[in-house]
């Protein structure tokens, strides 16, 4: 029984000795000489350093136990464990109560583990990691903003709110946005109407009849009808007028037909370049003055833009992946929906606008907006009761038909671009030179006939092209 108690006491003492010594994944040793000012002791957070003194000490203390924890292994050995980033002082006193030395302890974030994690998560990035006071300093060059944000987020795990960012983003950070606006409008309208005029007098001359429908419902229309001419108010593309007499009764019939077709094609291709994260604006059109009233009773003028508008903010988030925050609009003046106030006419606007955020790679395209509008109207009018009469009722009826179709597509294509030499860029004016007096007056040329020799157009002109090249326009 005594032997068993002895074994238990020995095991308890061994366990107590391991419990009093803080564990460490890697411990370093620093020697301290008596009476000398020691250099700063660098202790990574959550790691330990062993301090050995050449003189035996009887008392030791730490200024801020929240930064570092100490434990004596013997009368000459101290175990220092870093707890929180910061600076504090370790004091050693001898048996006679005199000061042996003060050791300045610097507890820094454990950047060794951070470097390993950084290499695993962001391989190939040229990021340098240093410690400064109680924080982490990141420097170097990263390939994209997204990788920079990931490095900062990881660093904040090891030093919350104590990360200094000195990194720069390399690679191409300028984005050229190519936008194509394509709109097609088609309209068809048809109308068919008939007018009837009747005029006559009785045998005694004391009874007269005069009536008409449509265009021939007035006296001038009746007179023109029987005179053999089409009424002046007629705006139809086709009209057929004829009349006949039935005793003392004169009858005139006018048939009117109208058919119109229209096609409108609108195409704009604005290109705009901006730095990643910066807003760029584009307007090709103009500004329309819109009057308004001020508080003092006067008239103020506010200008409303119209035309092709483009606002976008590009963000290069990862290598060639581009995030686009885009607002695009196509507007035009619409006098048909304007208003008139006190003799002042203000036109309305027809506007098609889209606002979206998309993400794509360099050179890829998105159709960010599409509008297909199909308006259809028809109208059938007739004289009550008379229009319901079979066969003859068609003379008392009119019909109108109108259809309008509109199709709009907006396609965007971003490109990562870098600056180039100005001589390599061709301008629209490079290919056209004013003519000389000889060319203008003798040959009637409004532009010089020889090819340009300077600028980007000159470089293109000097190239040896073989075969068909240029633009082909199909009618």
Q: Where are the alpha helices (DSSP H) in 289-338?
A: none
- Same domain for 254 and 287? no
Whether residues 337 and 247 fall in one domain: no
The per-residue pLDDT for 21 is 39
Write down the pLDDT at residue 194.
77
Tell me the CATH number at 93. Answer: 2.60.40.1080
Token digits of residue 421: 């030499």
- CB-count burial class (<10 Å; 0-12, 13-18, 19+) for 151: buried
The domain tally of the chain equals 5
User: Rounded to an integer, what distance in angstroms lies between the CA atom of residue 279 and that of residue 272?
Assistant: 11
Are 403 and 296 members of one domain? yes
Two tokens at 364? 């890829």
Whether pLDDT at 456 is above 60: no
* Full residue range of the structural domain in which residue 222 is found: 188-260
Residue 97's alpha-carbon distances to 57, 74, 79, 90, in angstroms, are: 9, 18, 21, 15
Q: Which pLDDT belongs to residue 461?
A: 56
CB atoms within 10 A of CB 199: 20
Neighbours of 127 (CB within 10 A): 19
Give percent of the chain with pLDDT exceeding 70: 75
- pLDDT tens for residues 25-39? 344 556 666 656 556
Beta bridge partners of 61: 91
Q: What average pLDDT does range 160-176 have in this prediction? A: 83
Asked, for residue 432, whether it belongs to a domain, the answer is yes
Determine the Cα–Cα distance for residues 426 and 458; give it in Å rounded to an integer. 8
Give yes or no for residue 171 having a pLDDT over 70: no
Largest CA distance in the chain: 160
Whether residue 316 is contained in a domain is answered as yes
Confidence of residue 130 (pLDDT cuts 50, 70, 90): confident
Same domain, 103 and 116: no
- Tell me, yes or no, whether 412 and 438 share the same domain: no
* Residue 459 located in a structural domain: yes
Assign 474 a pLDDT band (cuts: 50, 70, 90). Answer: very low
| Domain end point (choices 208, 228, 260) | 260
CATH number of the domain where residue 115 is located? 3.30.1340.30
Distance from C-alpha of 398 to C-alpha of 387, rounded to nearest angstrom? 9
> Is residue 211 over pLDDT 60?
no
Identify the three-state secondary structure at position 143.
coil
pLDDT for the residue numbered 279 = 92
Tokens 């068809």, residue located: 188
- Percent with pLDDT over 90 in the chain: 4
| Structural domain ending residue among the three candidates 209, 227, 260 | 260
More confident site: 48 or 264:
48
CA distances from 83 to 32, 92, 120, 255, 365 (A): 22, 20, 26, 102, 53
What would the pLDDT profile of 57-72 be if each residue is shown by its tens digit? 888 889 998 899 998 8
Burial letters 301-336, b for 16+ CB under 10 A, else e = eeeeebbbbbbbbbbbbbebebbbebebbbbebeee
Q: Are 311 and 281 in contact (CB under 8 A)?
A: yes
Q: In this structure, is residue 156 part of a structural domain?
A: yes
Residues 203, 63, single domain; the answer is no
Going from the C-alpha of 17 to that of each of 6, 22, 68, 277, the distances in angstroms are: 17, 10, 20, 59
The mean per-residue pLDDT over the stretch 7-16 comes to 41
- Based on the fold, state whether residues 409 and 435 are members of the same structural domain: no
Same domain, 426 and 410: no
Give me the mean pLDDT over the 268-278 stretch.
87
* pLDDT, tens digit, 9 for 90 and up, residues 344-388: 788 888 888 889 999 988 889 988 888 788 888 888 887 787 777
415 Cβ neighbours under 8 A, 6+ residues apart: 175, 176, 177, 178, 362, 363
- CA trace torsion 40, 44, 46, 49 (10° rounding): -50
Q: Which of 431, 416, 352 is nearest to 183 (CA)?
A: 352
Mark whether 245 and 282 lie in a shared domain: no
Q: What's the pLDDT at 7?
A: 39
Contact 399, 432 (CB under 8 A): no
Q: Which of 7-16, 218-227, 309-318 has the lowest mean pLDDT?
A: 7-16
Task: Between 106 and 297, name the one with better pLDDT.
Answer: 106
Is 334 found in the same domain as 404? yes
Average pLDDT for residues 182-206, to the nearest whole number? 74
**Residue 311 pLDDT:** 92
Would you state the structure tokens that stand for residue 116, as one six-digit string? Answer: 């390993």
Rounded Cα distance, 449 and 10, in Å: 110
* Residue 21 within any structural domain of the chain: no
Q: Give the pLDDT confidence score for residue 457 in this predicted structure.
A: 55
- Residue 254's pLDDT is 76
Give me the phi and psi of 429, to 5 degrees please.
-85, -10
DSSP 471: -
**Cβ(149)–Cβ(142) below 8 Å:** no
Mean pLDDT over the full length of the chain: 76
Same-domain pairing of 164 and 215:
no
Residue 386 lies in a domain: no
Q: What is the pLDDT of residues 284-334, one digit of tens each?
A: 888 898 888 777 767 788 898 988 888 999 988 877 788 999 998 888 888
**CB of 267 within 8 A of CB of 203?**
no
Q: What's residue 26's pLDDT?
A: 42
- Given this model, what pLDDT does residue 30 score? 63
Confidence band for 191, pLDDT divided at 50, 70 and 90: confident
> Does residue 237 sit in the same domain as residue 286?
no
Question: Average of pLDDT values for 157-168?
Answer: 86
């Amino acid at each position: 029984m005594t032997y068993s108690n002895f074994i238990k006491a020995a095991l308890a003492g061994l366990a107590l000795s391991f419990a009093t010594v803080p564990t460490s994944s890697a411990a370093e040793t620093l020697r301290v000489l008596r009476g000398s000012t020691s250099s700063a002791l660098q202790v990574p957070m959550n790691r330990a350093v062993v301090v050995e003194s050449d003189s035996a000490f009887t008392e030791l203390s730490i200024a801020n136990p929240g930064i570092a924890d100490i434990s004596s292994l013997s009368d000459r050995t101290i175990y220092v464990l870093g707890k929180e980033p910061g600076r504090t002082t370790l004091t050693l006193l001898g048996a006679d109560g005199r000061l042996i030395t003060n050791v300045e302890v610097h507890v820094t974030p454990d950047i060794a583990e951070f470097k390993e994690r950084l290499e695993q998560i962001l391989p190939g990035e040229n990021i340098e990691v240093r410690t400064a006071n109680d924080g982490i300093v990141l420097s170097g060059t990263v390939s994209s903003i997204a990788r920079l944000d990931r490095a900062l987020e990881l660093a904040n795990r090891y030093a919350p709110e104590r990360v200094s960012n000195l990194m720069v983003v390399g690679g191409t950070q300028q984005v050229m946005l190519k936008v194509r606006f394509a709109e097609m409008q088609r309209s068809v309208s048809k109308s068919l109407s008939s007018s009837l005029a009747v005029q006559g007098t009785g045998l005694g001359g004391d009874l007269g009849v005069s009536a008409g429908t449509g265009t021939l419902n007035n006296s001038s229309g009746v007179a023109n009808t029987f005179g053999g001419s089409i009424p002046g108010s007629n705006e139809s593309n086709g009209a057929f007028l004829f009349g006949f007499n039935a005793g003392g009764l004169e009858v005139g019939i006018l048939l009117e037909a109208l058919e119109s077709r229209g096609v409108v094609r609108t195409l704009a291709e604005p290109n705009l370049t901006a730095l990643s994260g910066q807003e760029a604006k584009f307007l090709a059109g103009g500004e329309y003055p819109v009057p308004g009233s001020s508080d003092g009773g006067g008239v103020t003028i506010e200008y409303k833009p119209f035309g092709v508008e483009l606002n976008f903010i590009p963000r290069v988030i990862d290598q060639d992946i581009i995030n686009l925050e885009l607002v695009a609009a196509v507007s035009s003046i619409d006098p048909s929906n304007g208003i008139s106030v006190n003799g002042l006419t203000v036109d309305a606007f027809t506007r098609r606008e889209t606002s979206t955020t998309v993400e794509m790679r360099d050179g890829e395209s998105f159709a960010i907006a599409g509008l297909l509008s199909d308006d259809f109207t028809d109208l059938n009018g007739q004289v009550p009761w008379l229009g319901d009469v079979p066969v003859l009722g068609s003379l008392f009826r009119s019909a109108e038909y109108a259809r309008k179709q509109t199709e709009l597509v907006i396609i965007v294509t971003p490109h990562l671009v870098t600056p180039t030499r100005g001589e390599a860029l061709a301008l629209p004016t490079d290919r056209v030179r004013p003519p000389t007096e000889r060319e203008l007056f003798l040959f009637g040329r409004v532009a010089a006939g020889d090819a340009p020799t300077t600028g980007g157009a000159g470089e293109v002109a000097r190239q040896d092209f073989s075969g068909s090249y240029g633009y082909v326009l199909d009618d």
